[in-house]
Amino acid sequence: MGNVMSYSGLVTKVRAMQAKLLTEQDFVNIANMSSVPDIVEYLKNGTPYADALNRMDESLYHRRHIEKVLELSLYADYVRIFRFAGMNQKKFMKGFWKRYEINVINYCLRIVLNHRDIPFDLDYKKEYFDKYSQISIDKLVTSDSVETLVDNLKGTEYYEPLQKLRDSSGATLYDYSMALEQYYFRNAWYKQRKVLSKDEKELFTRDAGLKIDLLNLEWIYRAKKYFHMLPTDIYLMTIPIHYRIRPEEFKAMVEAPTVEQFLQLFANSYYSRFKAVTRKDSHPVEDIYRECLHRLYVQDRRRNPYSLATVNSYLALKEEEIQKLTTAMECIRYQLTPRETLEYLGGKSE
């Protein structure tokens, strides 16, 4: 009952926003289009992106710019929900924002470490980051090397993990990204969980636990299939948290000599129970990752309508939608057939 009281406003707000998410039919329509401007025109009709797209100049109808609009729309949604949240809920929600912050830092790291001479293109995010973030875009864009970039992060929580790497010389982009990733998940698992009440904590543990497990599995799979990495290196890049996989099981998977053996082990694990529609050129682990999380979010929301699960799933679904739109635009740009496009979009939408 207490939950209903404290979540009624928030959930109503989220429901209203949810109603505006794109439907399966929308994606079918989009898949049938032949150019990016067509998609833009389509999105201008009654979708949450309409406002921003209408304000855009037509000459900017390029995927790069549209993607920015999509990203900003996610931030806008986050902020809308954030404003409706209470003190404790806000504390929890800040955990999501860290994801976006890490994305920005990763983007900057890529630029400075690859010595690419393209300028930082972050100004469009400034409005949101100045208001809701601990990192300052103004400072970040002045970085011209990893050292200055890390210095510019001084005062934020990301300084410490990165600074350690900077001090031990020879770290690569991979090391930095990995450090951030590890920091994020550990923070979510050990810190973000703390602010929740008992029921919510259970929910969140399940969500985060499954996500971490599935990410680990996906990474192991990729490391084995594409990069032929040594077990030691795989241990280093995975997140040292296990939810539904026992450590011995995990160890066996990492040390499996071939991909086939890994898949066999995977088939015996907890996660094999999720069945996904598989495409011809995709692989089971990735599909299950997507499918499983999608189902998880929808299920959470249904079971616990008056909880943070609603927020959690909405933001996840929104991210998924943006991901799909981006994919759709890419497919259309490379002139794939509608059928192929739909296959790439895969998964399910409401």
Partner 1 sequence: MIVKMKFLQISGPEHDIDRMCRQYLSKHEIQLENAIAELKTTDNLQPFIEVNPYRDPLGKAEQFCELLKVKPEPDMSMDLDSIGEMLREINHDYVELQERKEMLKKREDELKEKAVALAPFRGLEIRPGDTAKYQFMKIRFGRIGLDYYRRLERYLYQDMHAIFLEGSRNENYVYGCYVVSNEEKTKTDSVFNSLHFERMTLPDEYAGTVQQVYEIIQKDVQRLTAETQELEDQSQELMKKNAAKILGARKKLQEASDYFDIRKKAVKSLEEDENDGYYILCGWMGEDDVEAFQRESKDDPNVMILVEEDKEKYFGEAPTKLNNPKIFKPFEMFTEMYGLPGANEMDPTIFVALTYTIIFGAMFGDLGQGAVLFVGGGLLYLFKKMRLAGIISVAGIFSMFFGLMFGSVFGFEDVIPALWLRPVDAMTNLPFVGQLNTVFVVAIAVGMGLNLLVMLFQVINAVKAHDLENLLFSNNGLAGIVFYGFLVLTVVLFMTGHKTPSNILLAIFLGIPVLLFLFKEPLGNLVEKNHKKMEVGPGMFLVQGFFELFETMLSYFSNTLSYVRIGAFAVSHAAIMEVVLMLSGAEQGSPNIIGVIVGNAIVMLLEGLVVGIQVLRLEYYEMFSRFYKGNGRKFEPFKNTTNR
Q: Is 156 left (phi over 0), alpha (psi -120 to 50) or beta?
A: beta
Q: Considering the complex, state which of residue 73 and residue 238 has its C-beta at the smaller distance from partner 1.
A: 238
Closest CB to partner 1 among residues 95, 240: 240
- Read off the amino acid at residue 59: S
Nearer to partner 1, 164 or 201 (CB): 164
- Please, what is the minimum distance in Å from the beta carbon of residue 185 to partner 1? 13
List residues near partner 1 by CB under 8 A: 164, 168, 182, 230-233, 235-236, 240, 247, 251, 254
CB 151, min distance to partner 1, A: 19
Structure tokens at 14: 């989220």
Dist CA 133 CA 325 (whole Å): 26
C-beta closer to partner 1: residue 16 or 236:
236
Q: How far is the CB of 221 from partner 1 (least distance, A)?
A: 18
The minimum distance between CB 91 and partner 1, in angstroms, equals: 25
Nearer to partner 1, 229 or 298 (CB): 229
Nearest CB to partner 1, comparing residues 144 and 233: 233
Q: How far apart are CA 289 and CA 297, in angstroms?
A: 12
Q: Which is nearer to partner 1, 251 or 279 (CB)?
A: 251
**65 and 56 in contact (C-beta within 8 Å)?**
yes
Residue 340 zone, left/alpha/beta (φ > 0; ψ -120 to 50; rest): alpha
- Alpha carbon 89 to chain centroid distance? 20
Buried b (16+ CB within 10 A) or exposed e, 46-65: ebbbeebbeebeeeebeeeb
Q: Which one, 130 or 233, has the nearer CB to partner 1?
A: 233
* Cα–Cα distances in angstroms (integers) from residue 318 to residues 49, 104, 148, 257, 276, in the given order: 12, 19, 34, 38, 21
Distance of CA 32 to the CA centre of its chain: 27
Please provide residue 194's backbone torsions phi and psi, each rounded to the nearest 5 degrees. Answer: -60, -35
- Distance, CA of 67 to CA of 123 (rounded, Å): 14
Least separation in angstroms between CB 229 and partner 1: 10
Q: How far is CA 22 from the centre of its chain?
A: 18
